[in-house]
Amino acid sequence: MSDFSHLNDKGQATMVDVGGKQATYRTATARSIVSLPQQVLEKLIEGDMQTKKGSVFQTAIIAGIMAAKKTGDLIPLCHPIGMDNCNINIQLNEQQEVVIDCTASITAKTGIEMEALVGASVAALTVYDMCKALSHDIVIKETKLIEKTGGKRDFKRA
């Protein structure tokens, strides 16, 4: 059990004590991919689809940033941290899927990857919400960490 940072020696959930750590500059980028059925995709290809709720991509960007800022409230053992920056980029890839990248940064004693993952995830959920009136055959295929720097070790997905 000691391999899991959020479990104490008795196997009980605990917050990681970062009190003695030095603050370092940290960045993280996470990606979510959303697969849309053709009838929804055609609307997006015409431009940033406007719905009764507003612009699909702009609403997803705002929702993702708002969610990233609330990660400490949503994930029980995450430290509540402020972010120095958070950017969300949304585009279509060669397979005509919606690719959502969330990059967050901070100078702190603990990481920023959970904020990036939450931001990308909620942006993807918002695309689903904004497009579900056209079809429920929308699939959020994956959410994954692409890269992180700072802290104990850097990571970059090959």
For residue 144, tell me if it sits in a domain: yes
Q: Which residues pair with 100 in a beta bridge?
A: 32, 90
Kindly report the CATH number assigned to the domain that includes residue 71.
3.30.70.640
**Structure tokens given for 122:** 């909620």
129 is catalytic: yes
Residue 46: the pLDDT is 66
Q: How far is CA 151 from CA 32, 40, 112, in A?
A: 23, 41, 10
What's the structural domain count of the chain? 1
Of 3, 129, 137, 154, catalytic: 129
Give the range of the structural domain holding residue 118, as residue numbers without chain letter. 24-150
Grade residue 2 by pLDDT with cuts at 50, 70 and 90: low
Grade residue 47 by pLDDT with cuts at 50, 70 and 90: low
Question: Looking at the predicted structure, is the pLDDT value of residue 1 above 60?
Answer: no
Vertex 67 angle, CA 116 and 38, to 5°? 80
| 39 in Cβ contact with 135 (< 8 Å) | yes
For residue 12, tell me if it sits in a domain: no
HSE on the CB side for 116, CA within 13 Å? Answer: 26
For residue 9, tell me if it sits in a domain: no
Residue 111: the pLDDT is 83
For residue 11, tell me if it sits in a domain: no
Mean per-residue pLDDT for 97-122? Answer: 96
For residue 4, tell me if it sits in a domain: no
Residue 83: the pLDDT is 96
For residue 110, tell me if it sits in a domain: yes
| 141 in Cβ contact with 121 (< 8 Å) | no
The string of pLDDT tens digits covering residues 51-99 is: 777 789 999 999 999 999 999 999 999 999 999 999 999 998 989 899 9
Residue-by-residue DSSP string for 77-135: TS-----SEEEEEEEE-TTS-EEEEEEEEEEESS--HHHHHHHHHHHHHHHHHHHTTT-
The string of pLDDT tens digits covering residues 5-46 is: 878 888 888 888 888 889 999 999 999 999 999 989 888 776
Higher per-residue pLDDT: 50 or 112? 112
CA distance 112 to 86: 10
For residue 34, tell me if it sits in a domain: yes
The rounded percent of the chain whose pLDDT value lies above 70 is 96
Question: Looking at the predicted structure, is the pLDDT value of residue 100 above 70?
Answer: yes
On average, the pLDDT of the chain sits at 91
CA distance 27 to 147: 8
For residue 10, tell me if it sits in a domain: no
